[in-house]
């Protein structure tokens, strides 16, 4: 009998999540994380949803670092909703490991804010996750997308980033 070797089909690369070697890690906001038991599945590997929670925490802290408090956004009736999320898992992370979630605002156009993420080892040598998230500003009272970002948000972003 002749044995046919079948190879596992590979997913084509996506433009949203570039090849790890093409990432430069300069000018990123860094958010350190140590993997706790509640971040993992039964095998001690980080559960996929934990990565998304870490990205959210990093984004909130990045905004805080430039003077945008999420509680202030809530107080003025603005929410930043995730409307698109792309995640590529390159390597698993295990219980007890320390990693760094790096994030940066890639582009702000109107009320759309695009973020890039990488999750790497503390020495930056291992890449675990790459991701992109798109947010839009929502008027919580009306339940509709805002026509423009609140002035305080727009001002803070303009001081720190190029916005369109």
Q: Would you state the torsion angle of the CA atoms of residues 17, 34, 82, 27, taken in this order, to the nearest 10 degrees?
A: -60
With beta carbons less than 8 A apart as the criterion, state whether 146 and 126 touch: no
116 is catalytic: no
* Distance, first Cα to last Cα, the chain: 64
With beta carbons less than 8 A apart as the criterion, state whether 104 and 139 touch: no
What is the Cα–Cα distance from 156 to 163, expressed in whole angstroms? Answer: 11
Question: How many alpha carbons fall within 13 Å on the CB side of residue 39?
Answer: 19
Which is catalytic among the residues 41, 116, 123, 139? 41
**Which residues are designated catalytic?**
41
């Amino acid at each position: 009998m002749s044995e046919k070797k079948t190879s596992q089909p590979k997913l084509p690369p996506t433009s949203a999540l570039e090849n790890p070697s093409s990432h430069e890690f300069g000018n990123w906001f860094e958010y350190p994380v140590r993997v706790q038991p509640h971040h993992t599945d039964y095998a001690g590997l980080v559960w996929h949803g934990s990565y998304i929670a870490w990205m959210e925490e990093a984004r909130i802290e990045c905004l805080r670092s430039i003077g945008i408090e999420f509680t202030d956004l809530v107080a003025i009736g603005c929410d930043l909703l995730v409307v698109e999320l792309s995640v590529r898992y390159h390597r698993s992370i295990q219980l007890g490991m320390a990693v760094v979630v790096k994030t940066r605002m890639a582009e702000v156009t109107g009320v759309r804010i695009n973020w890039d993420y990488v999750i790497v080892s503390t020495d930056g040598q291992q890449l675990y996750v790459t991701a992109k998230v798109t947010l839009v500003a929502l008027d919580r009272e009306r339940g509709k997308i805002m026509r423009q970002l609140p002035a305080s948000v727009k001002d803070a972003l303009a001081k720190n980033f190029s916005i369109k």
